[in-house]
């Protein structure tokens, strides 16, 4: 992505607390476009340690994101947890630009929790998707 593309992304999202929030990630219609807007990050390091990492072009990562986020939502609901909010937010730091997917939930016992997943663009055509599969936050 050109430097102008990076500047445009940073100007668009640098003050945004959230890009989107709703009841399910399936309701966010612009995910593929959001991935296309992401600037390349020289340091492709997530903000925390994850158990799984997927790598691929935009179409592959788009599919993995939808598959894994919706599967996780279903897993949480199968455990009789209530999904309170699904949100997408930018994490912009000196080394990288990250898109974070957050799932906030309430357990059947009344406890609250949150789980996050992250995407980093590490090349013109390559993305990394980090996830903890079926492990509450």
pLDDT tens sequence across 69-106: 999 999 888 888 899 999 999 999 888 999 999 999 99
In a domain, 137, yes or no: no
Whether the CB-CB separation of 90 and 13 falls below 8 Å is answered with yes
In a domain, 136, yes or no: no
Long-range CB contacts (within 8 A, 24+) of 9-18: 9/37, 9/38, 9/39, 9/97, 10/39, 10/92, 10/97, 12/37, 13/90, 13/92, 14/90, 14/92, 16/89, 16/90, 17/89, 18/87, 18/88, 18/89
> What confidence score (pLDDT) does residue 3 get?
65
In a domain, 17, yes or no: yes
In a domain, 111, yes or no: yes
> What confidence score (pLDDT) does residue 36 get?
96
Number of domains in the chain: 1
d(CA 97, CA 40): 8
CB under 8 Å to 77, separation ≥6 — which residues? 83
Q: How many CB atoms lie within 10 A of CB 34?
A: 18
In a domain, 66, yes or no: yes
Domain holding 24, by residue range, is 3-131
In a domain, 127, yes or no: yes
In a domain, 65, yes or no: yes
Alpha carbons within 13 A on the beta-carbon side of 31: 23
């Amino acid at each position: 992505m050109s430097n102008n593309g990076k500047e445009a992304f940073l100007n668009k999202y640098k003050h945004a607390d959230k890009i989107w929030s709703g009841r399910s990630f399936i309701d966010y219609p612009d995910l593929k476009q959001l991935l296309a807007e992401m600037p390349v990050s020289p340091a492709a390091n997530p903000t925390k340690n994850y158990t799984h990492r997927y790598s691929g072009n935009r179409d592959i990562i788009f599919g993995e994101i939808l598959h894994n986020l919706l599967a996780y939502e279903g897993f949480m609901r199968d455990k009789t947890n209530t999904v309170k909010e699904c949100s997408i937010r930018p994490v912009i730091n000196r080394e990288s630009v990250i898109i974070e997917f957050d799932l906030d939930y309430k357990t059947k016992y009344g406890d609250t929790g949150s789980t996050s997943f992250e995407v980093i663009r590490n090349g013109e055509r390559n993305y990394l998707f980090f996830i903890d599969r079926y492990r509450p936050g």
